[in-house]
Structures are given as structure tokens and as C-alpha cells.
């Protein structure tokens, strides 16, 4: 920044000195004045040209990760999330759907999903309270249709 200001100061002083030393009636005076103004303008606009280069580099989007890297990162994140949250999510989903479809109280139903590796294998429904009077075959069929997993039920 200091060099930039010194360059502007040097050009301003030298052009004004040259213009002052030239006689008044010399035809070169207008040309020298024009050139000194152009030189000053180019000095003043030079930071904008460097910003233009930076903007061109920014909008080339080369700083963004490649699509293959994004896809790989997405798949890793998805797999991690599914393996850690799928059991709890499925249990919550099944419980909410059963409670709303069969008018059960939440406290009368517990749902357990058994995992094999990273995928769900089967569902166990534990009925208590007024839920024991529900047709367990209908509850199991509902869950099997919902998730496509085998379902069994027990009474507590």
C-alpha cells in the first residue's frame, strides 16, 4: 500500500513539475497534460485490475471440490448417519404410525427394531395397558406393510 501511494505521489509531482517547466504557449503542454492524466488514471485503476483477476479466479470455480469427491463424502456421511440413527428412527416411526392408525396411547406400546449389520432385520412390538386388546395380527401386518420387515408382538 505504501508503494502504491508513493507511486501516485511521484507521478503527480513529476507531471506537475514538467507542466510547470514548460512555457505557456508550447503546443506540447496539452499532450503532456493528457499523458500525465492517463498515467495517473492507470495507477489509480491498477488495484481494480488485480481484483478483476481475483474475481476471475473465484468464478472459475476451480476452488470447489470435484464432483467425485462430493459424491464420496455424501455417501460416507449418509452411511454413517443411517447406521447410527436408523434404529431409533425406525422405532419412532413405527410407534408414531401405530399410535395414530390404531388410536393407541404411546405408553401402551414399545417398539424394538433388531439390526443385522447396518440394516434392519425385524421388528418387535410390546403391548401393554389397553393396547393388549388390539388385534396383534393387524398391528404386525401394518408394520410389515410399512417397512417390509417381519414383525412379531408380545404382551407385557
**pLDDT tens digit string along 28-63?**
788 888 888 888 888 888 877 677 666 666 666 666
What percentage of the chain exceeds 90 in pLDDT?
Answer: 31
CATH class in words for 84-155 = alpha beta
The per-residue pLDDT for 81 is: 64
The per-residue pLDDT for 97 is: 93
Per-residue pLDDT reduced to its tens digit, 123-153: 999 999 999 999 999 999 999 998 888 999 9
Residues in contact with 82: Cβ distance below 8 Å, sequence separation at least 6, in sequence order: 118
Indicate if the alpha-carbon torsion angle 41, 47, 48, 50 is positive or negative. positive
Spatial contact of 113 and 120, defined as CB atoms under 8 Å apart: yes
121 pLDDT band, cuts 50/70/90, is confident
Q: Which residues on neighbouring strands pair with residue 66, listed in sequence order?
A: none
Residue 154 reports pLDDT greater than 60: yes
Amino acid at each position: 500500500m505504501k508503494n502504491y501511494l508513493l507511486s501516485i505521489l511521484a507521478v503527480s509531482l513529476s507531471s506537475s513539475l514538467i507542466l510547470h517547466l514548460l512555457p505557456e504557449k508550447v503546443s506540447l503542454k496539452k499532450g503532456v497534460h493528457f499523458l500525465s492524466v492517463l498515467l495517473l488514471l492507470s495507477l489509480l485503476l491498477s488495484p481494480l485490475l488485480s481484483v478483476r483477476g481475483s474475481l476471475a479466479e473465484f468464478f472459475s470455480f476451480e476452488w470447489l471440490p470435484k464432483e467425485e469427491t462430493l459424491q464420496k463424502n455424501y455417501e460416507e456421511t449418509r452411511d454413517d448417519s443411517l447406521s447410527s440413527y436408523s434404529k431409533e428412527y425406525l422405532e419412532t416411526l413405527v410407534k408414531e404410525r401405530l399410535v395414530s392408525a390404531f388410536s393407541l396411547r404411546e405408553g401402551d406400546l414399545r417398539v424394538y427394531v433388531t439390526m443385522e449389520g447396518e440394516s434392519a432385520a425385524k421388528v418387535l412390538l410390546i403391548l401393554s395397558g389397553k393396547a393388549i386388546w388390539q388385534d396383534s395380527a393387524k398391528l404386525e401386518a401394518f408394520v410389515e406393510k410399512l417397512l417390509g420387515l417381519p414383525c412379531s408382538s408380545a404382551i407385557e
